[in-house]
């Protein structure tokens, strides 16, 4: 497992379980790998074994498969769709047969020699592929989609590597030395057991065995002491690295919010490598400080705002507030400021809950809104206990009517005692129940309160900034409204920064 991680496998338990399935499964693995982490791990792990990489679209694909089978080399078929080439069926089924003392397998029209060292790996970048049962029974389908904890560990390593390269280097060296020591200890134990098994006669009369046992005892004691010391050092390194985890956690939260934008519009596709590039850029550009707490706060604030500005360049105007609100909510949920029940109520409303009490404001409050009042009372009793009775009581009904019918209920004070005991998230839940059309304004105020004014404004697009943050081989696509023509601006800027050789313009109709 340490060897896998040194070759780039994420350190979370899900990735480790997946790696066990890849290396120990009886069927060849088909890896769902939208972030290409598994592919990078396979390429690194099997590089020394002469890994060959091909695709189903390559004309020489079957020739590559045949060569790898004969020579016993690993083969990676990458970026497949939802179907596999039928010619691969004998390979996937491991349909090996013996003929005149030779192990053969039929590939296409030929029988070729089968080398037991052959390994096959199949990967797809599709995030949610639908494979037919006849495909699933031939391979082991393994989901390598990045997890929150796995990405957090990767971002933590990248941050510590930049902030404290000595610590990260020491950690990696320690992993290698501990793995080597444990392997040596295991080999000693196996050697002793093998000698005991092969020994004939009285064991104490076997001088060679006794000498080996004595040497093994000394070596074993030395290695065990070194391992104990290494474990203590590893604990100290872990404590030092954990100080930087809040920044990695924030980065992981933001990435998964970005990834979920594809559910709004399939055009919103943000790769993990793109986010990691932004993450590294933020580490370099955030305000430096010798005080660790100040530095961490600066990193979190700068990264959150910088990623928001970069992502907003690729969003339609209507979706920018959704992105900032989702980012805000997920940060607050991680801090336990917003509960799962509150978030669920805001998203889904009352669900199957019905309010047995008669709606006292049928003209202003919808049936779904009145049911949500009951759902709040039942689902979050510590906060909204007694809400229904308070609304319908004669003493407070007029206050609720006044609040529910005013022009700006999102800024007006709630009836007592609710105005003093609810936070902004809980106020939005009441607003959803009584005046749902005002919710978008409350969301803007909510984002400003917790993240800042910049997160509800459309960041200006500057060619100078875009050009400075992209690599020389990165294309920039502009989606223009009817009548817009940026050609003049682009050519002017291209002349200013002297990159006319990189500028290629085309029109997308």
DSSP string, 110-143: EEEE--TT-EEEEEE--SS----HHHHTTSEEEE
The percent helix, strand, coil of the chain (3-state, each to 5) is 60, 5, 35
Is the alpha carbon torsion for 302, 308, 311, 314 positive or negative?
negative
In this prediction the pTM is: 0.80
* Whole-Å CA distances, 154 to 9, 236, 247, 455, 505: 10, 19, 12, 27, 37
pLDDT of residue 368: 92
pLDDT of residue 447: 96
Weakly modelled stretches of the chain, pLDDT under 70: 203-205, 467-470, 486, 489-509
Neighbours of 85 (CB within 10 A): 15
Is the alpha carbon torsion for 389, 399, 408, 406 positive or negative?
positive
E-assigned strand segments in 127-213: 140-143
pLDDT of residue 224: 81
pLDDT of residue 509: 46
Alpha carbons 354 and 371: distance in angstroms, whole number: 5
* Whole-Å CA distances, 359 to 328, 354, 373: 33, 11, 10
pLDDT of residue 100: 87
Q: Which long-range contacts link 129-135 to residues 24+ away (Cβ below 8 Å)?
A: 129/32, 129/81, 129/82, 130/82, 131/30, 131/82, 132/82, 135/30, 135/82, 135/83, 135/84
| Contact partners, residue 464, CB within 8 Å, separation at least 6 | 493, 497
């Amino acid at each position: 497992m340490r060897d896998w991680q040194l070759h780039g496998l994420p350190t979370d338990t899900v990735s480790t379980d997946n790696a066990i399935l890849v290396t120990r499964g009886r069927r060849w693995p088909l890896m769902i790998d939208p972030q290409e982490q598994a592919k990078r791990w396979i390429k690194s792990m099997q590089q020394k074994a002469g890994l060959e990489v091909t695709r189903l679209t390559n004309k020489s694909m079957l020739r590559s498969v045949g060569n790898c089978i004969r020579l016993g080399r690993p083969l990676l078929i990458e970026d497949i769709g939802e179907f596999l080439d039928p010619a691969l069926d004998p390979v996937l089924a491991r349909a090996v047969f013996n003929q005149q003392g030779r192990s053969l397998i039929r590939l296409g029209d030929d029988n070729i020699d089968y080398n037991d060292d052959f390994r096959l790996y199949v990967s797809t970048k599709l995030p949610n592929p639908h494979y037919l049962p006849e495909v699933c029974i031939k391979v082991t389908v393994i989901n390598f989609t990045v997890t929150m904890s796995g990405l957090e560990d990767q971002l933590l390593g990248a941050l510590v590597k930049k902030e404290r390269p000595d610590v990260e280097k020491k950690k990696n060296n320690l992993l290698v030395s501990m793995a080597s020591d444990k392997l040596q200890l295991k080999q000693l134990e196996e050697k002793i057991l093998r000698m005991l098994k092969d020994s004939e006669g009285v064991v104490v009369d076997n001088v060679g065995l006794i000498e080996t046992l004595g040497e093994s005892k000394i070596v074993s004691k030395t290695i065990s002491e070194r391992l104990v010391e290494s474990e203590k050092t590893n604990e100290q390194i872990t404590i030092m690295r954990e100080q930087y985890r809040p920044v990695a956690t924030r980065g992981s939260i933001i990435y998964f919010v970005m990834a979920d934008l594809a559910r709004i519009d399939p055009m919103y596709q943000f790769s993990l490598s793109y986010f990691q590039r932004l993450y590294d850029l933020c580490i370099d550009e955030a305000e430096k400080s010798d005080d660790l707490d100040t530095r961490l706060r600066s990193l979190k604030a700068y990264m959150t705002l910088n990623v928001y500005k970069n992502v907003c360049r690729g969003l339609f105007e209507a979706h920018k507030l959704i992105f900032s609100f989702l980012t805000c909510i997920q940060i607050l949920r991680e801090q336990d400021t917003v509960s799962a029940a509150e978030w669920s109520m805001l998203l889904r409303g009352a669900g199957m809950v019905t309010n047995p009490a008669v709606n006292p404001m049928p003209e202003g409050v919808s049936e779904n809104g009145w049911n949500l009042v009951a759902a709040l009372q039942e689902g979050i009793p510590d906060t909204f206990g007694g809400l229904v009775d308070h609304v319908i009581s004669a003493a407070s009904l007029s206050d609720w009517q006044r609040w529910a019918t005013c022009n700006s209920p999102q800024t007006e004070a709630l009836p007592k005692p609710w105005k003093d005991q609810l936070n902004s998230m809980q106020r939005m839940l009441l607003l959803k129940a009584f005046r749902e059309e005002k919710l978008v304004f409350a969301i803007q105020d909510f984002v400003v309160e917790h993240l800042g004014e910049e997160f509800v404004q459309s960041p200006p697009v500057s060619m100078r900034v875009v050009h400075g943050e992209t690599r020389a081989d990165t294309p920039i696509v502009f989606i223009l409204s009817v009548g817009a023509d940026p050609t003049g601006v682009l050519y002017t800027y291209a002349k200013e920064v002297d990159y006319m050789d990189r500028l290629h313009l085309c029109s997308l109709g």
